[in-house]
């Protein structure tokens, strides 16, 4: 499989469908996630009231759960929405923001993995390693070091969790335990803007809504978002202008550019 061409095909198909991506996410980056969904070619809805969870998720193409600003009310809504999504066969993406920083975050992420059929777990190295039981240091929501081989941790945890695991960083590792991919698109400027990890999860949700192959779709999503970061960085003078340029680049990303510039390798 030519992964660059497959990335382009999946991204183009997503734009044709314009899927609704239901988010239960954190209030720090909620607007950024909504806007990156629109720029990618999807439609966002940011709903967390438990009273409408079953109805809202039923009309969505994917559900993205982000634990960045946890509280008891949000956890209950995540469970209700996730259970309904599982009943309907709607893909669930879990972003375990800050897992490892506090016991509450770690235990909540593990509970969601246990209670729900998660299609994709997408986190940084520290978050994924923490949930996998490896030694990792997480300060706030940032990863500050992991003991062990990142690819092996990703692959082993995919087998144990039964879902696609995406570990993001300077290089992104994606595995379902049987197949593994590395994505090398991206730019260092993306680390200087709060919320790029959350936005990446939104793009993953948009692509996996196609329900073709969650592992390949996740790799394609991270390549597309990373390439938008590369293009945006060319126009930016600093972090804030980069943020604007990132949205512009995501909106303007062409299928031909993905086919020639997506750097996705099967390992």
Q: Look up the CATH number of the domain holding residue 114.
A: 3.40.1190.20
Burial of 104 (0-12, 13-18, 19+ CB in 10 A): middle
Token pair 């956890």: residue: 75
- Adjacency order of strands within the sheet including 172-175: 43-46, 20-24, 62-66, 92-95, 120-124, 164-168, 172-175, 180-183, 264-266
pLDDT, residue 100, reads 87
What pLDDT sits at residue 134?
Answer: 74
At 204, the pLDDT band (50, 70, 90 cuts) reads: very high
pLDDT, tens digit (0-9, with 9 covering 90-100), for 109-151: 999 999 999 999 999 998 999 999 875 555 444 444 555 588 9
pLDDT at site 143:
44
Q: Which among 140, 122, 118, 125 has a CA at the least distance from the CA of 68?
A: 140
Kind and range of the H or E run holding 65: strand 62-66
Host domain of residue 236: 3-266
By the 8 A CB rule, do 248 and 232 touch? Answer: yes
Query: What are 37-73's pLDDT values in tens digits?
Result: 999 999 999 999 999 999 999 999 999 999 999 999 9
pTM assigned to the model:
0.93
Neighbours of 133 (CB within 10 A): 11
What is the pLDDT at residue 38? 98
User: Is residue 90's pLDDT more than 50?
Assistant: yes
The pLDDT assigned to 150 comes to: 87
- Are the CB atoms for 158 and 176 separated by under 8 Å? yes
Q: How far is CA 115 from CA 80, 233, 234, in A?
A: 11, 40, 43
Beta bridge partners of 166: 122, 174
Tens-digit pLDDT profile for residues 207-265 = 999 999 999 999 999 999 999 999 999 989 999 999 999 999 999 999 999 999 999 99
pLDDT score, position 243:
96
**Among 188, 257, 176, which residue's Cα sits nearest to residue 223?**
257
Q: What's the number of CA atoms in the CB half-sphere (13 Å) around residue 205?
A: 37
The pLDDT tens digits for 161-197 are 999 999 999 999 999 999 999 999 999 999 999 999 9
d(CA 30, CA 33): 5
The number of folded domains in the chain is 1
> Virtual CA dihedral for 127, 7, 56, 112, nearest 10 degrees?
-20
CA-CA distances (angstroms) from residue 168 to 23, 51, 56, 152, 225? 20, 33, 29, 14, 12
């Amino acid at each position: 499989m030519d992964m660059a061409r497959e990335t382009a095909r999946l991204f183009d198909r997503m734009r044709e469908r314009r899927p609704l991506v239901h988010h239960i996410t954190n209030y720090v980056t909620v607007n950024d996630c909504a806007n990156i969904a629109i720029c990618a070619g999807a439609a966002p809805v940011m709903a967390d009231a438990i009273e409408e969870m079953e109805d809202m998720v039923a009309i969505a193409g994917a559900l993205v759960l982000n634990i960045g600003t946890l509280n008891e009310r949000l956890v209950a809504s995540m469970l209700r929405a996730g259970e309904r999504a599982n009943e309907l066969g709607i893909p669930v993406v879990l972003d375990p923001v800050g897992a490892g920083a506090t016991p509450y975050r770690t235990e909540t992420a593990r509970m969601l993995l246990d209670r729900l059929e998660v299609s994709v777990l997408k986190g940084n190295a520290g978050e994924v390693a923490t949930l996998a039981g490896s030694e990792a240091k997480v300060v706030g929501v940032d990863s500050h070091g992991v003991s062990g081989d990142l690819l092996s941790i990703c692959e082993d945890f995919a087998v144990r969790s039964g879902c696609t695991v995406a570990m993001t960083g300077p290089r992104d590792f994606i595995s379902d335990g049987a197949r593994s991919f590395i994505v090398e698109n991206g730019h260092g400027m993306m680390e200087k803007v709060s919320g790029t990890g959350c936005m990446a999860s939104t793009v993953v949700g948009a692509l996996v809504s196609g329900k073709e192959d969650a592992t390949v779709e996740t790799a394609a999503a991270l390549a597309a978002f990373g390439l938008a970061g590369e293009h945006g960085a060319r126009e930016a003078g600093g972090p804030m202008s980069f943020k604007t340029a990132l949205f512009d680049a995501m909106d303007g990303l062409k299928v031909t550019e993905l086919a020639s510039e997506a750097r996705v390798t099967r390992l």
